[in-house]
Chains A and B, each alone.
Chain A
């Protein structure tokens, strides 16, 4: 009996459990975080964006861009499969596709706005080739998913994501991400530093640093309405 319990305790998690855990780590039910995205370009120069990200119950995310001055006032909203960007210069919001580049960096909109892999992907466990890592193979369930296929690597011990590889339907590797600097944000542990590499333009990469994060916040549902953008 004890042996069975121990075996169960130390058994590798199921694919669905691991996927659920990834969503819990990277996208808790509600949060209010501040982040900085540093885009490194081909010529070696960088562009830095500061933003505030609000996530409400369900698949709702709103992003406020605070820096640089040329992007200040821009907002993005994601409700389910719908995405919009509010442009202060246009005084209006326009619809976005999930696969659009996020602020011209190496993340796409789905990477930042829609971390709900349980909804978008079917998961199976794979062989990571490294005893220190677990591998989750994700296959898109709908055309709205940001990628056709994702390989997610986790630490064997803490089950924290350490690396992701994002593939097109053709099988081509589009992007890769490395997750690092696991931090405690009020009892919630998650990687605070993500480096996303554009595998099609290898000199380019973007870093996303989470500087603060509050969980279990109450955000009125109307904050995730299209007509609230710009307020």
Chain B
């Protein structure tokens, strides 16, 4: 296998990086979520290679964006009712080494206006920067660092590209089984793990148009048990991006769907079969998810981005209170979390975000060249209903053309309510240092 890979690399364009990320977390045990598997300190080493090999001519090529992750963690603390106490270091599944082929595909352009692609690729049609509510295809990104998540979906895609418009059709089978991040089964569950007999896939058709200096995307999704248990579900997505008044970029994206596959807490456990259920799955109501944003660059090259996210299917205050109450009851190991992405085929995030409520704001400010190679950044993620959320401050130093050092401080804030979304975060501070060497 390695020999084949080495052979493939010969005469290929290879780039990538080695990244070492060391983080310390001030773990909180007074949240509703278990902390038994959440290490106080953690080191993550990533070896990344991005390989592009042309196949005969520039019109045909194979591409791979591969990462190997090795993780170590330690220092565990929990509170199972007897007060906070240490837990001996133990085996945590989320910290096992794993591989992520973020992208792995063959691209062929048999005609000037036709491109065919087979394999795994991250395709982002939405215009949102911190978050893409219209993206139902890819693993979710980390809003505090959107560059971190590069993993895509497995697919077969045909795309017809013209100067001012593009037509795309794709089919994406869901990965049903995988080992250490590498897929072993697609579309249906194998007989030895027959969770259901359905075909799990997504099909999409998309029209892109460059019209009046505006990027416009119109997407139709058809899903069948794709990352949920819904058959024959249609969704429509829209996005646009344009500059106004010379320096102000304005963008929007929206996803329209009937019913919601979100898990809602049951507010009367005596009447429900389970504490959580897809109670709005088949109610026929329209639940739009909309993101509006703007971005501008100041004369000193500072950049400000402000985005607002609305989710019609987000929890109301009463539903949030019920959720927190249920989580409190389920505290003792019934719900497992770690500071990893929920998708084990995706890259580990610095911060995993699952928006539960209806209104959010994402604000980022970046000031490059505070000294020659130093960039300061601040990011704010806020639940606009309880004003809880997360702030991050970071400082990056491009010490050389091939080495970047970054320090980030994650600071959650609980907001105005005792029961807030921010109060779910199982840490009161997280500090992270990263060294990234490019080659």
> What residues make up the interface of A, taking CB atoms closer than 8 Å to B?
41-43, 45, 47-48, 68-70, 72-73, 79-82, 87-92, 94-95, 97-101, 104, 143-144, 220-222, 224-228, 231
Nearest B residue to A60 by beta-carbon distance? B163
B215 CB within 8 Å of chain A: yes
Report how many residues on chain B are interfacial, defined by Cβ distance under 8 Å: 49
Interface pair B246/A231, CB less than 8 Å apart:
no
How long is the Cα–Cα vector from A206 to B373 in the complex, in angstroms?
15
Give which listed residue, A91, A143, A225, contacts B162 with CB less than 8 A: A225
Interface pair A225/B163, CB less than 8 Å apart:
yes
B344 CB within 8 Å of chain A: no
Nearest A residue to B164 by beta-carbon distance? A225
Interface pair B215/A97, CB less than 8 Å apart:
no
- A201 to chain B minimum Cβ distance, whole angstroms, is 9
Interface pair A231/B124, CB less than 8 Å apart:
no
Interface pair B368/A95, CB less than 8 Å apart:
no
How long is the Cα–Cα vector from A91 to B151 in the complex, in angstroms?
9
* Bitwise interface map of B from 396 to 408 toward A, beta carbon under 8 Å scored 1, else 0: 0010011010000
Interface pair B213/A47, CB less than 8 Å apart:
no
On chain A, the residues within 8 Å of B122 by CB distance are 91
Interface pair B208/A69, CB less than 8 Å apart:
no
Give which listed residue, B112, B152, B210, B297, contacts A79 with CB less than 8 A: B210
B107 CB within 8 Å of chain A: yes
Nearest B residue to A48 by beta-carbon distance? B401
Given known A-B contacts A144-B246, A220-B112, A82 and B213 have beta carbons under 8 A apart: yes
The 3 closest A-B pairs by CB, nearest first: A68-B401, A69-B438, A89-B147
Query: Majority SS of interface residues in chain B?
Result: strand
On chain A, the residues within 8 Å of B247 by CB distance are 97, 99
Apart from A73-B50, A100-B297, what 15 extra A-B contacts exist at CB < 8 Å? Answer: A41-B372, A43-B372, A69-B17, A79-B163, A82-B210, A89-B147, A94-B129, A95-B249, A97-B247, A104-B369, A144-B246, A226-B208, A226-B210, A227-B159, A231-B109
B330 CB within 8 Å of chain A: no
B89 CB within 8 Å of chain A: no
8 Å CB interface, B197-218 against A? 208, 210, 213, 215
Give which listed residue, A47, A95, A224, contacts B163 with CB less than 8 A: A224
B42 CB within 8 Å of chain A: no
How long is the Cα–Cα vector from A73 to B51 in the complex, in angstroms?
11
Give which listed residue, B61, B146, B301, contacts A101 with CB less than 8 A: B301
How long is the Cα–Cα vector from A55 to B103 in the complex, in angstroms?
29
How long is the Cα–Cα vector from A95 to B247 in the complex, in angstroms?
11
Interface pair A81/B146, CB less than 8 Å apart:
no
Interface pair A42/B372, CB less than 8 Å apart:
yes
* Bitwise interface map of B from 360 to 380 toward A, beta carbon under 8 Å scored 1, else 0: 000000001101110000000
On chain B, the residues within 8 Å of A47 by CB distance are 401
Interface pair B210/A81, CB less than 8 Å apart:
no
- B184 to chain A minimum Cβ distance, whole angstroms, is 24
Interface pair B107/A227, CB less than 8 Å apart:
no
How long is the Cα–Cα vector from A159 to B171 in the complex, in angstroms?
57
How long is the Cα–Cα vector from A168 to B168 in the complex, in angstroms?
42
8 Å CB interface, B156-177 against A? 159, 161-163, 166, 168
Interface pair A70/B438, CB less than 8 Å apart:
yes
On chain A, the residues within 8 Å of B178 by CB distance are none
B113 CB within 8 Å of chain A: yes
Give which listed residue, A41, A72, A97, contacts B249 with CB less than 8 A: A97
Interface pair A143/B246, CB less than 8 Å apart:
yes
On chain A, the residues within 8 Å of B372 by CB distance are 41-43, 45
How long is the Cα–Cα vector from A97 to B395 in the complex, in angstroms?
25
B336 CB within 8 Å of chain A: no
How long is the Cα–Cα vector from A111 to B318 in the complex, in angstroms?
56
On chain B, the residues within 8 Å of A143 by CB distance are 245-246
On chain A, the residues within 8 Å of B113 by CB distance are 222
On chain B, the residues within 8 Å of A41 by CB distance are 372-373
Given known A-B contacts A70-B402, A91-B122, A97 and B15 have beta carbons under 8 A apart: no
- B211 to chain A minimum Cβ distance, whole angstroms, is 11
On chain A, the residues within 8 Å of B401 by CB distance are 47-48, 68-70
B325 CB within 8 Å of chain A: no
B243 CB within 8 Å of chain A: yes
Given known A-B contacts A73-B15, A222-B162, A99 and B152 have beta carbons under 8 A apart: no
Give which listed residue, B241, B373, B402, contacts A68 with CB less than 8 A: B402
- A65 to chain B minimum Cβ distance, whole angstroms, is 11
Nearest B residue to A72 by beta-carbon distance? B15
Give which listed residue, A72, A95, A231, contacts B215 with CB less than 8 A: A95
On chain A, the residues within 8 Å of B163 by CB distance are 79, 221-222, 224-225
